[in-house]
Amino acid sequence: MSTFNARSICNKLPELHRLLYHETRHVVLITETWLNNNVCDGLLDPEIKYCIFRCDRNNRRGGGVCILVNRELKAIRVPVPDIYSDIELVCVDIWYCNAKCRLVGVYRSTDCKQQSEPYVRQLVQCLESYSCYLALLYRWRL
């Protein structure tokens, strides 16, 4: 598994493709993708070897989280309730050898409207609603 903060993945596509196709990662989590609904998944994975799960920031530039899971693994998006729409979060269940892992990717920017303490409370409340073990990967800018 690889994780990195892209600060715009669109200008780093050759590096992403090398990671996906030559280093063959099973799971890649990217924060600060800077993606929006004008960028299709085919740009990220032109060889269609990964399931792509995104939480884009469409109302302004920056932010966003993306998890790419190799299609050799079974992966399903876990819906995040609307009450947590202020949190840039993507949640995926991944099965491997009959074992399930819940992977959560979170990004919080420095220009977040919420103060840190209420934001953390809301994030913890959201994560507590998932009654299983999970791996949390995040990029937190303070």
- Least confident stretch, 21-30, 45-54, 91-100: 91-100
Kindly state the average pLDDT of the residues 41-57.
97
Q: Where in the chain are the domains? A: 2-140
Report pTM: 0.85
Mean pLDDT over each residue of the chain, to the nearest integer: 86
HEC profile of 35-92: CCCCCCHHHHCCCCCEEEEEECCCCCCCCCEEEEEECCCEEEECCCCHHHCCCEEEEE
User: Hey, what CATH topology would domain 2-140 get?
Assistant: Deoxyribonuclease I; Chain A (3.60.10)
List pLDDT tens digits, range 20-33: 999 989 999 999 99
Q: What share of the chain is helix, strand, coil (3-state, %, to 5)?
A: 25, 35, 40
What's the rounded Cα separation, in Å, for the pair 119 and 124? 9
